Amino acid sequence: MKNGQHRRISGKRAAVAGGAAAALVMAGITFQTANASEGTPQFTVKSLSPLAAGKLSSSLGKDLGSDNAAGSYYDARTKALVVNVLSGDAADAVRRAGGRAKVVANSLSELRGATRALSGAASSVAGTSWAIDPVSDKVVVTADRTVKGDALAKLDTAVKNLGGKAELKRSTGQFKPFIAGGDAIEGSGGRCSLGFNVVKDGQPYFLTAGHCTQAISDWTDGQGNALGSNAGSDFPGHDYGLVKYASSGTAHPSEVDLYNGGTQKITGAGAATVGMNVTRSGSTTHVHDGTVTGLDATVNYGDGDVVNGLIQTDVCAEPGDSGGSLFSGSTAIGLTSGGSGDCTAGGQTFFQPVPAALTAFGAQIG
């Protein structure tokens, strides 16, 4: 090859390379390379708060779609969002956004299909729950100690029919709503706990569990003073209730009782993320911490009381804690619904997401 031809070809290659670089800049794609000669992209995993991780998860979920991703979870140790993906392209999209990609076998669409199949096969088996677990990339089905004999065999068959998309676990406790959990609120049907103070149409209300407002219509505080009456209730299906304060002048601070002489200010509501550290306050067992272990969980409490869309946690609770506050820092997360176990041996507790309750009632934290 002549020198002139070599120079012309090299010039063309340089122009192509320059055009490609310009295209990357125009597309807004930037990355660092650990070895410039090899051109291997190295993306930085962002250090995120649980709430920031939840927002990034929501954004990536919309961008990737349920066929390219399979949920996400927060790694509290590294403060990183881990996103399950099914392809290299999806993994690169996660890394560019600052998340950590994990290639898995089951898509979110497949796992949601598995939960629908379980809803049909296990809906008649009381004492069961099921939720997508992004850490294991499976639907985890839990049977409490009351599930035995033919009912357990039916559940086991339903799980096995889903192959590697589901697994069955046992709970030593019994799933039940915790009616009998913030500050105590009482009525003729028992005791629950106040969740969060809210405002609707300029008037003061509070949120609690729907199974509480189903059983009790008028409420008093722990000293027998009138608090208010039900303004809305949804249970089963969901588990939220709305109570209007008896007086518009009632003090209704946006805070949660920490049972140590202090309170936690609540400034808004947010969505839970698997792996998020959370705190629960209730009138029976007061304040306990734990971790979110699943989202969009379904629980069959028995007697036709099936609740969907719950937050699954390893936080303990006991009767009387129902309706109480689940929060992360200054953010309202959930209302105590029910579960198994207690705060001596530990257990599993489910919470109604607060944003869904606010939307249903047209209320705001305040």
Q: What is the pLDDT of residues 113-130, one digit of tens each?
A: 999 888 877 667 899 999
For residue 11, give both structure tokens: 């010039």
- Considering the domain architecture, whether residues 166 and 223 belong to the same structural domain is answered as no
**CA distance linking residue 180 with residue 149, whole number of Å:** 30
Structure tokens belonging to residue 35: 């070895």
Quick one: 189 and 323 in the same domain? yes
Which is catalytic among the residues 239, 257, 305, 321?
239
Active site residue 63: no
43 plus 191 within the same structural domain: no
Q: In the listed set 88, 103, 118, which residue is the last one of a domain according to the structure?
A: 103
Is 239 annotated as catalytic?
Answer: yes
Q: How do residues 15-58 score in pLDDT, each as one tens digit?
A: 333 443 333 333 333 333 233 334 446 789 999 998 899 999 99
| Same structural domain, 128 and 81 | no
Structurally, the chain folds into a number of domains equal to 3
Confidence label for 135 from pLDDT (cuts 50, 70 and 90) = very high
User: At residue 150, does pLDDT exceed 80?
Assistant: yes
26 in a domain, yes or no? Answer: no
Q: Which domain holds residue 140?
A: 108-170
Concerning whether 201 is annotated as a catalytic residue, the answer is no
The answer to whether position 52 is within a domain reads: yes
Candidate list 133, 137, 183, 211, residue with the active-site label? 211
Which of 72, 171, 322, 328 is flagged as catalytic? 322
Shared domain for 74 and 39, answered yes or no, is: yes
In angstroms, the CA 124 to CA 306 distance is: 10
The kind and range of the H/E element at 208 are strand 203-208
Q: Which of 148, 170, 192 is the last residue of a domain?
A: 170
pLDDT for 272:
96
Give the pLDDT score at 122: 67
DSSP state of 165: G
Residue with tokens 């989202």: 295
Q: What is the pTM of this model?
A: 0.81
One domain for residues 118 and 96: no
Q: Are residues 125 and 218 in the same domain?
A: no
Minimal CA–CA distance to 340: which of 305, 291, 300, 292?
Answer: 300
Residue 59 covered by a domain: yes
